[in-house]
Amino acid sequence: MNSEIIVSVDGMGGDNAPQAIIDGLALAHVRHPKVKFLVHGDHARLQPALLGKSSLKHVVQVVHCDDAVGMDDKPAQALRRGRNTSMWRAIDSVRSKEANVVISAGNTGALMAMAKVQLRTVPGLSRPAIAALWPTIRGQSVVLDVGANVDTDARQLVDFALMGEAYARVVLALDRPSVGLLNIGAEEVKGNDEVRDAAAALRASGLPLRFHGFVEGDDISAGTVDVVITSGFAGNIALKAAEGTARLIGHYIRSAMQRSLLSRIGYLLSKPGFNVLRQKMDPRAVNGGVFLGLNGVVVKSHGGTDGVGFATALDLAIEMGESDFVARIADSMAHLPPSIAALGGAPAQAAQ
């Protein structure tokens, strides 16, 4: 394994580029010594970051380009003037099959816009989605969409279910991941039309999918299902609400442990326990959203991450690069049951 894998890297994406990118490559190289990296970006800035990383000499190839997408650039603006950016070039290496997978810690909107233009949506699929890994009591689950789409219809939710299941097979190494549709628990309402129609379609489809039915917001962290399907609007809000809650509790823990001398001594004694806790709560340990549904896999690292977090996202990119994920999705879409196709969703139009 790993021997043939080439990862295309946006060397200039993210708040701490290029240093965090190069640091991440050095860490990932220890774990995946045979993987090669094509790093796109400004030679004059990448070379100093590479100094002292002699281990990377034979696995990193720098491909110079002058320009970079800014973290605050509008996607349309980035698309217009972007052909010379490290992000565009990094995606292009996957489009041209030079690389197996592309990774960037840059501007999410620009990355999605450029990836759609260059890689295009898999034929038959309504729209791409962004999948996140979510820590749970049972381990990890996949949640999608976490922000690629604002308005999501039933057909898109069904597509997300198919993509999410295929993704969970790869990253969670499961034979038959269970899939749930995120819904609300207030008893007077059983969700909106999209959610109900998608559930009915999944049940009636005859697809070999372990469809669990509806799940609620607290089922995500409980790990009730392996794959949680939702609209980009609700998924993004859920993900960020959870991140905010983790930060709030971290704040509570710090202030609680500083209340008295005894608490502080206790804290010191419990340090190994707290270190485990810190690792569990470290957002760098689950870094990496994946754009699913394009003719090529794009991994998005958190923009503010450091080398450790970027290396986690690289692990994910390498795992996806080794898999036949895109071929599997294309195959699923080519063999959709008529009941799903009947849901509509104008895939030909959306595949732009």
**Footprint of a second copy on residues 81-140 (CB under 8 A)?**
107-110, 112-113, 130, 135-137
| Strands of the 129-136 sheet, one edge to the other | 60-64, 36-41, 6-10, 101-104, 297-300, 289-292, 129-136, 139-144, 227-229, 178-182, 210-215
Q: Does 61 bind a second copy (CB under 8 A)?
A: no
Q: Which is nearer to a second copy, 104 or 230 (CB)?
A: 230
Shortest separation between residue 192's beta carbon and a second copy, angstroms:
5
Does the protein bind a second copy through residue 164 (CB under 8 A)? Answer: no
Q: What letter represents residue 134's amino acid?
A: W
Residue 150 interacting with a second copy (CB under 8 A) = yes
Provide the minimum distance between the beta carbon of 255 and a second copy in the complex, in angstroms, as a whole number: 8
Site string for a second copy, 242-281 (x = CB under 8 A): xxxxxxxx-xxx-xxxxxx-xx-xxxxxxxxxx-xx--xx
Confirm or reject binding of residue 80 to a second copy (CB under 8 A): no
- Contact between 68 and a second copy per CB under 8 A: no
> Cis link prior to 18 (omega < 30° from 0)?
yes
For a second copy, the closer of residues 26 and 142 by Cβ is 142
One of 11, 147, 177, 288 touching a second copy (CB under 8 A): 147
The gap from C-alpha 177 to its chain's centroid, in whole angstroms, comes to 18
* Under 8 Å between Cβ of 236 and 147: yes
Which of 14, 75, 180, 345 binds a second copy (CB under 8 A)? It is 75
Q: In degrees, to the nearest 5, what angle opens at C-alpha 163 toward C-alphas 295 and 297?
A: 35
Site for a second copy in 282-311 (CB under 8 A): none
Q: Can residue 151 be called a binding residue for a second copy (CB under 8 A)?
A: yes
Beta strands in the chain (DSSP E): 6-10, 36-41, 60-64, 101-104, 129-136, 139-144, 178-182, 210-215, 227-229, 289-292, 297-300
Of 236 and 323, which has the nearer Cβ to a second copy? 236
At its nearest, how many Å lie between a second copy and the CB of residue 204?
22
Tell me the site size for a second copy, rule CB under 8 A.
77
Q: How far is CA 74 from CA 7, 11, 90, 248, in A?
A: 26, 20, 19, 31
Cβ proximity to a second copy, 151 vs 175, nearer residue: 151
* 56 near a second copy, rule: CB under 8 A: no
Contacts with 331 (C-beta within 8 Å, 6 or more apart), sequence order = none
Tell which positions 173-212 bind a second copy, by CB under 8 A. 182, 184-189, 191-192
Q: What is the closest distance, in whole angstroms, from the C-beta atom of residue 139 to a second copy in the complex? A: 11
Cβ atoms of 111 and 75 within 8 Å: the answer is no
Contacts of 326 (CB under 8 A, 6+ apart): 122, 294, 295, 296, 297
Q: Name the one range near a second copy by CB under 8 A: 203-211, 214-222, 312-320, 335-343.
A: 214-222
Residue 175 vs 218, nearer CB to a second copy: 218
Query: Does 31 sit near a second copy (CB under 8 A)?
Result: no
Q: Are 318 and 7 in contact (CB under 8 A)?
A: yes
Write the DSSP symbol of residue 183: -
331 sits near a second copy (criterion: CB under 8 A): no
Total residues found in the chain within this entry: 352
